[in-house]
Amino acid sequence: MLKKITVRNIPGVSAGKIIKNRDIISYQTFNQIYDHAQRHARTTIRDAEAVANDLHSRAWTEGYVSGMTFAIQDLAKFVHDHENNKNHLITSALETVTVKLKEFFDHEESICQLLNVLVERLTKELQDPGRVIVTVPEKLHPHSHKVKHIFDNAGLAAEIKKSPHATIVVEYGKEIWTYDLNQVADNLARTAIKKALDSSQLNEECVVSSLDALQNIRDTLDSYLSSSR
């Protein structure tokens, strides 16, 4: 047979409700605060990650831009060096060829060859009378007999005069031909250099001499792209 058990009042413990309403409210409030804290923490973490990603992206972009800037500078230097090398080769070649041609035209034999070409043209357009006046530089005058012989052999009576200038003047009828020996040498040199430029050899030499600049471009890009990842 069941016995009736009497529960005595325990100090501090309600004999009715185990959890009071205020305790329930406090408990719910704690949960709300906890949930809010969790949400706030998650939001803060997301914001921090977003900021970190933004900083990383910005750093990568800035690094990439810096790398491209230096690469462009290297490229500009390469182009500048390439053009400088090319211009230096052209200038050097032009000076060398011009000097050689001037030396060539300093000899009476070379000038006589030049006059032979003119005489061949004059004989195709003989005028009456066939008289020619040839003015030669003073340094060539001692060889005037050779010049006269060229015209006489072609049936052209030549009178030889001398001039202090480096110019040969040939007067035949109403026509006058002038040959500035320095200008002739310069024109021939420029023609020779122009023909040389038409070939790819000169450009290839310029490119080879600028390979260091190309290597700098590649190294700069590799360095900045690697450090920005």
Asked whether residue 3 is domain-assigned, the answer is no
Residue 15 lies in a domain: no
Answer whether residue 144 shows pLDDT above 80: yes
**Does some domain include residue 7?**
no
The pLDDT of residue 92: 78
Q: Give yes or no for a contact between 74 and 213, defined as CB atoms under 8 angstroms apart.
A: yes
Average pLDDT over residues 70-90: 67
13: left (phi over 0), alpha (psi -120 to 50) or beta: beta
Instruction: Identify which of 70-84, 106-120, 214-228 has the greatest average pLDDT.
Output: 106-120
Calculate mean pLDDT across residues 87-104: 76
pLDDT attached to residue 7: 46
Neighbours of 97 (CB within 10 A): 19
Q: What is the mean predicted confidence (pLDDT) over 197-207? A: 59
Our count of domains for the chain comes to 1
User: Is residue 189 in some structural domain?
Assistant: yes
Amino acid found at 43 = T
Q: How confident is the model at residue 150 (pLDDT cuts 50, 70, 90)?
A: confident
Domain around 226: 20-229
- Would you place residue 224 in the very low, low, confident or very high pLDDT band (cuts 50, 70, 90)? low
Query: Is 11 inside any structural domain?
Result: no
Q: What is the mean pLDDT of residues 125-153?
A: 80
Using DSSP's 3-state secondary structure scheme, residue 176 falls into: strand
> What single-letter DSSP state applies at residue 138?
G
1 found inside a domain: no
Categorize the per-residue pLDDT at 12 as very low, low, confident or very high, splitting at 50, 70 and 90. Answer: very low
**Residue 13's pLDDT is what?**
47
**CB-based burial of residue 101 (10 Å sphere; 0-12 exposed, 13-18 middle, 19+ buried)?**
buried
Rounded CA-CA distance 65/91 in Å is: 38
125 has pLDDT over 80: no
Q: Which residues contact 138 (CB under 8 A, 6 or more apart)?
A: 162, 163, 164
Q: Is 48 part of a structural domain of the chain?
A: yes
| 107: its two tokens | 């000899």
Q: What is the pLDDT of residue 28?
A: 59
Q: Tell me 125's DSSP state.
A: G
In a domain, 30, yes or no: yes
Q: Is residue 27 scored above 60 in pLDDT?
A: no
Report the range out of 20-24, 40-44, 69-73 with the highest average pLDDT: 40-44
pLDDT at residue 136 greater than cutoff 60:
yes
